[in-house]
Amino acid sequence: MKQIFIRAKLVVAICILSTSALSQANMKANFGQGIKLTSADTSMTMKFQLRMQHLFEMQQDLGEDAFSDEGFESNYLVRRARLKFGGFVYTPKLKYKVELGLSNRDISTNKEDGNGRDGSRLILDAVLKYKFHSNWSVWVGQTKLPGNRERVISSANLQFVNRSNVNSKFNIDRDMGLQLHGNYGKSFVIKPKFAWTMGEGRNITEGNFGGYNYTSRIEFLPMGEFTGKSEDYNSSDLKRQSSPKLAIAGTFNFNDDATRQQGQLGSFVYLQEYDAIADAFVSTGNYATADLASLQLDMMFKYKGISMMAEYANTQNWDQDGSESTSKNFNTGQGLNMQLGYLFKNNFEVAGRFTGIEPDNSMSGISKINEYTLGASKYFVGHNLKIQSDISYIDQFGKDGAVRFRLQVEMQF
């Protein structure tokens, strides 16, 4: 109930500020492009957008409980509901972005592990971007790390209802700190990216416990930039590239003394010791740490409605403290995701995806999983208004298979 009141106050405050700004600024509004305000002296701009996703999902196990109440699940979710703000202040070289997540899935925390350092996750992005050189810009604040392509692609611009298992288990997500982004070339483009961050994810409420997090990424576009803004970070070929376009990239991430299962994500991991009286391992109250090293490779290809994307991820534990006595282990292993889609001229798209993950024994509670997915999407106003559905066969080793169906509506103005 307290969270509901907080969200209501936030929305009221935004409406008041927007009304005040409108009286002193020029306004432009187009569906899908948001509401853009420009100050009278043109020293600042602000673009405001609202987006939401409504998801229906059901899953049927194919084992002994097939077609019974025990083997069937269904759910309806407001999967995402977000407010986005962006623009520049003082000079067009100094840009900002703020994104707030309002749905329960966006702001949920890991309170089950008894740790109070992971506070409310209302803030997704709060970042300043300053272009100090024609080829370089520095980012300060909290935002996505330059990691695997599928993670950096906005959840509004996906080809399927949601991201793959590879992203879910191995992505490096958001973090707080500094980033450096470069851009060189025209016919052959190279984009180096670097980040130095805290290593514990977004909205941590207390000081950093372990070491820092270091990320390096390099992207190659051997056929030049894609037609359209950031089309190498949109899943479908909605711009119908008139010539073949290819992006290839690799990321290396090192999280020194990570204290969460996935570095920036997951529960905090605690050391345990054996209690002879209880005849069980109990938490010492102290963190376990691990040096997590992640390698991520990805590519994107588009041409005349055809889109292909592939990703490989591998996370290894280079040095874990107390590996034999932790209550939950760190997520390590490897995964592969491949998807192919074709967009017809009536903006109806069909796509197929294969996802496979092979966790190490240290990935708590997760076994090897292969997923085979067939998706269909209808784009009314690009990604800003669309209906998507997909059906998947889930083959989890050591368990019965399952079939999952999802249907989702996305709107962003």
Which among 24-33, 76-85, 363-372 has the top mean pLDDT?
A: 76-85
CATH number at residue 198: 2.40.160.10
Secondary element (H or E) of residue 22: helix 2-22
Question: Considering the domain boundaries, does residue 108 fall inside one?
Answer: no
pLDDT digits (tens, 9 = 90+) for 172-204: 999 999 999 999 999 999 999 999 999 988 888
Give me the amino acid identity at 15.
Answer: C
Q: How far apart are CA 80 and CA 100, in angstroms?
A: 10
In a domain, 57, yes or no: yes
Binned at pLDDT 50, 70 and 90, residue 393 comes out as very high
> For residue 116, what pLDDT is reported?
55
More confident residue, 118 or 172: 172
**How many CA atoms are closer than 13 Å to the CA of 294, on its beta-carbon side?**
36
Does residue 356 lie within any of the structural domains? yes
- Residue 350's alpha-carbon distances to 166, 241, 375, in angstroms, are 21, 17, 6
Give me the pLDDT at residue 57, please.
96
Judge whether 89 lies within some domain: no
Are the beta carbons of 238 and 383 closer than 8 angstroms?
yes
User: How many Å apart are CA 374 and CA 390, to the nearest integer?
Assistant: 6
Q: Report yes or no on 12 lying in a domain.
A: no
Q: Cα separation of 390 and 164, whole Å?
A: 12
What's phi and psi for 172, nearest 5 deg? -105, 0
Note whether residue 148 is domain-resident.
yes
Reported residue count of the chain is 413
Residues 215-253: tens digit of each pLDDT = 999 999 999 999 998 899 999 999 999 999 999 999 999
Looking at the 3D structure of the chain, how many domains does it have? Answer: 1
Do residues 102 and 81 make contact, with C-beta atoms less than 8 angstroms apart? Answer: yes
Given a contact cutoff of 8 angstroms between Cβ atoms, the answer to whether 110 and 202 are in contact is no
Residue 381: which residues within 8 A CB-CB, separation 6 or more?
31, 32
Q: Which pLDDT score, from 0 to 100, does residue 7 have?
A: 53
Helical spans, DSSP H, in 30-114: 104-107
How far apart are alpha carbons 387 and 53 in whole angstroms? 10
Coil/strand/helix, residue 262: coil
Give the integer Cα–Cα distance in Å for 174 and 99.
12
What is d(CA 134, CA 72) in angstroms, rounded to the nearest whole number? 56
- What letter would DSSP give residue 5? H
Q: Is the dihedral of CA 131, 136, 142, 144 positive or negative?
A: positive
**What's the domain range around 66?**
44-78+130-412
Cα 395 off chain centre by: 24
Higher pLDDT, 115 or 392: 392
Mean pLDDT score across all residues of the chain: 87
Tokens of 29: 């509004």
CA atoms of 268 and 209, how far apart (whole Å): 11
Question: Does residue 36 lie within any of the structural domains?
Answer: no
Question: Does 113 have pLDDT greater than 60?
Answer: no
Residue 237 lies in a domain: yes
